[in-house]
Amino acid sequence: MKKYLLLLLLFLTAFSYAQEQYAIYFDTGKDTLNNIFSAEFTNWMDWHKSVNVTKIQGYADGVGKTDANSSLSIRRANYIAELLKANDVDLDEKAEIKGLGETGKDKDDAQSRKVTIYFEKNKPKVNPLEKQMKKAKVGSKIPLSKLAFERNSGRALPGSIKMLNGLVKIMEDNPNLKIDIQGHICCNLEDTKNLGLLRAKTVYNHLINAGIDKSRVSFQSFGGSRPIYPIPETNALQAETNRRVEIEIISN
């Protein structure tokens, strides 16, 4: 009997350790984080790159109409999901992302204005770009996350080298792969400084200098003509999403 109780205790301990949760809070009526909570959440993501997020649930307090709060709660959940993806925190393919509406007993309940993230720890980290590449088909477009540049420049920041080298390895491991590197900007339709082209060319040059054959790589810029969010954007996350370099699979 003691043996079974011990096994049950070990199982419950392992399960409670594997399934953890983290809550991040919002201001009244807001679906984006203020500067303080944004900094806190960024720090959390930096320390949780190897987790697997399985569920994201958004909540709202009782201020305002119930229908509006239900919509607000799902927007909060989706916002956090986008931040996780943008920061290379592994979001499970089957992760549940939903808004649960009002949960606070009081009209103004700060503890209810939140998103709760459920995650598993100690999952082996998979290169997210490599993971996307394995599923990609001809015509697929994949943003190069973790690729950052100096302000108003085509010069990649030092922290981007790991991602660029990861792309080199993918090209080396897949000799039939051909890609087109495409630059996009945010905030304006016209790319007066040619930033989209300069940044796409930076990725191109890194691949060529690493020994990837020129016949397998091309580059171009679409400026602000193909935004994911309408220009002008309404928040920093939308601008960051529009301001991107992505690759299109030409053949694989």
Backbone CA torsion sign across 51, 56, 62, 63: positive
Among residues 71, 50, 57, the alpha carbon closest in space to that of 21 is found at: 57
The predicted pLDDT at position 8 comes to 47
Domains and CATH numbers, the chain: 16-120 (3.30.1330.60), 128-251 (3.30.1330.60)
pLDDT confidence of residue 16: 43
What are the pLDDT digits (tens) for 168-201? 999 999 999 999 999 999 998 888 899 999 999 9
Non-local CB neighbours of 247 within 8 Å, separated by 6+ positions: 141, 142, 144, 167, 179, 180, 181, 182, 203
Q: DSSP character for 230?
A: P
Angle CA 13–19–21, to nearest 5: 125
Q: What is the pTM of this model?
A: 0.57
Q: Are 120 and 54 in contact (CB under 8 A)?
A: yes
Q: Residue 154 phi/psi, 5° resolution?
A: -95, 5
Q: What is the dihedral of CA 125, 128, 129, 131, to 10 degrees?
A: 90
Q: Residue 170's closest CA among 87, 62, 54, 252?
A: 252
| Spatial distance between the Cα atoms of 90 and 129, rounded to a whole number of angstroms | 11
**252 residues of the chain, pLDDT tens digit each:** 555 544 444 444 444 445 799 999 999 999 999 988 998 998 898 888 878 899 999 999 988 888 999 999 999 999 999 999 888 888 888 899 999 988 766 677 888 899 999 998 865 556 778 878 888 899 999 999 888 888 889 999 888 898 899 999 999 999 999 999 999 999 988 888 999 999 999 999 999 999 999 999 999 999 999 999 999 999 888 888 889 999 999 998
